Amino acid sequence: MKKTVVGITVVGKDREGIVASFTNFAFSKGGNIEKVNQNVIKGLFGMYLEVSFAKAVNIKKFDTEIQALAKKEKMDVSTHHETNSQKNIAIFVTKEPLCLQTILAKSKSLKGNISVIIGTEKTLEPLAKKAKIPFVAVEEKNQQKAEEKIIQICKKYNIDLISLARYMRILSPNFVWRYPNRIINIHPSLLPAFPGALAYAQAYERGTKIVGVTSHYVTENLDQGPIIFQDSFKVDPNDTLEKIKLKGQKLEADTLFKAMKMHLENKLDVRWRKVHIKSK
């Protein structure tokens, strides 16, 4: 019998005894803890537990009981169950269209359903309407308030995977910790070189001969999450900055889509901050 794996995320105000409370709960249900990761930043506690069960487990009962524990401990808890059913995808966007257009055009080959598109503005709403996918604009300038809304939207659509398709906001630990190794971003350089928003301009100014893009999982450390996939293209000395950008943007879209596809096909495993591609 195949084991059941449940991912548990715990986020809330840091205090003593939280780790023991949730690990003891997992043990009391006959679970074996396979992964545990915890962080504390400015009094905010985040923990991810991956628990496996050798015997059949009543998922509905498990979820009800862990939510009762969450209420008692005053923590925000969510569970994620690995199943063979299609995953629900949320795409976060701002105004650059190519990544979103590429994902929508190839969406039938994804082992998942694009459930919602969330934008910081309404520029790309027509693309969502054409694809008949719900679009929600969260235009709050205050990131904390914006994330409070986004968290509720993701809960509503039971989101499994988040794709940052040139989403021009930095997500806080409070959000990122809720989706460990389930938020994929695209960065316009071969990380860790040329970090930041002006990567193409830096590469152009430095006369770089090869420019690349990096898809990676998002962590609380900007642009430093586990790298999933990288690709590159050669730069001709006569290429203008605009030509480099056009080449790069197409590669970004393709690389982001490839990373999403690999994730949804369960081909990726993160161990010790490195992404390993499963052979089978």
> Which residue numbers are catalytic?
223
The H-assigned helical ranges of 81-161 are 98-105, 125-130, 143-156
Contacting residues for 23 by C-beta, under 8 A, at least 6 apart: 33, 36, 49
- Give the Cα separation of 259 and 186 in Å (integer): 9
Q: How many CA atoms lie within 13 A of 101 on its CB side?
A: 11
Paired with 12 in beta bridges are 45
- Give the Cα separation of 128 and 206 in Å (integer): 38
- Give the Cα separation of 201 and 210 in Å (integer): 13
Helix (H, G, I), strand (E, B) or coil at 223: coil
For residue 264, the surrounding DSSP H or E stretch is helix 241-264
**Measuring CA to CA, which residue among 45, 155, 136 is closest to residue 92?**
136
Strand order in the sheet with 4-13: 32-41, 44-53, 4-13, 76-81
For residue 37, the surrounding DSSP H or E stretch is strand 32-41
**Measuring CA to CA, which residue among 216, 217, 220 is closest to residue 230?**
216
